[in-house]
A and B are shown apart, each in its own frame.
Chain A
Amino acid sequence: MDRMQDGGNDKLGGLFAQYRESVPDPDASAQFMPNLWRRIEERRVATTSVFRRLSQVFVVATAALTIFMAAVLIPRLQREQVFSASYVEVLAADDHGDYTDLLK
């Protein structure tokens, strides 16, 4: 059985060697390098245009957000009561006299 398999392996090895011979290294055509550089350029342009499109989306989104804030959020904030008391006034308002009694 092993001998049969060895025989098969040898045949297969021989067949692969013949295959190597029957498919020699081909010469590239004259268009190989120009076509390669064209593909490199196409990929570069495609990548650049993706980034350009992304940046356009970001610009539009930022502009929309700015307009939304200017139109909706800022007037709403302005309508709300502004707390304009100073720090000392806040402390005084919060003072229930507990500590001052102790000092006396």
Chain B
Amino acid sequence: MLVEFELIERARSGDDGAFNQVVQAYRKRILGTIARLIGRPEDVEDVGQEVFLRLYYSLDQLRTAEVFEPWLYRLTVNAAYDYLRRQRRRQENRMSDLSEQAVMLADAAEGSKRSAEEDRRTKVRELVQSLLEKVSEEDRILLTLKEVEGLSLKELEKIYQVNENALKVRLFRARQRVLKAYESQSESS
């Protein structure tokens, strides 16, 4: 826990100052998780604010301060999921408007601005994002929390409120799908 239970209790009882302190303690971690979940730096703050907005209006439903972190992660997962769903719909519309040539020109213009290190990182980001785009939003989020964020099965169990075996099955399947996409991408390149 990054904050004392007492601070969360105070925030729960309507103390705005305590809520501010809770946000400041968790902000960086949550923004990092969101950045890796959604893969769009320009929208990270917006989704982060949505998470803390939902936290503000749902704090009174929190049973005890002990379950605060899984609760906050659940809100993060839900906000990221909503964002990814919206984004997928928007992207489908946008891509149908742009010609292939216009997309290539936009990519080339973006590529010329990068440094070598940033280029390597961008390639990794793009590769992982393209792999994750090949699975459902649910699988993408679950896999990112486990493989990238390094959350344990116990922690995921608390966030998703499902048993460990069900999570293992879902993770295995998601991993298989991504692996398949990775192999077919490696073969084609």
Binding site for B on A (CB under 8 A): 5, 8-9, 11-13, 15-16, 18-29, 32-33, 35-36, 39-40, 43
Contacts and interface: CB of A to CB of B under 8 A. Distances in A.
A33 B182 contact: no
B124 A24 contact: no
B56 A25 contact: no
A28 B45 contact: yes
Nearest to B54: A43
B175 A12 contact: yes
B147 interface: yes
A5 B21 CA distance: 46
A18 B148 CA distance: 9
21 contacts: A8-B179, A9-B179, A11-B182, A12-B178, A12-B179, A12-B182, A19-B124, A19-B148, A20-B148, A23-B125, A24-B32, A26-B32, A27-B28, A28-B31, A28-B48, A32-B48, A35-B49, A36-B23, A36-B49, A39-B49, A39-B53
Contacts of B35: 23, 25-26
**Chain B interface secondary structure, helix, strand, loop or mixed?**
helix
Contact of A20 (B27, B36, B178): B36
Interface residues of B, number: 37
Contact of A19 (B24, B36, B56): B36
Contacts of A22: 120-122, 124-125
Contact of A26 (B20, B41, B120, B125): B41
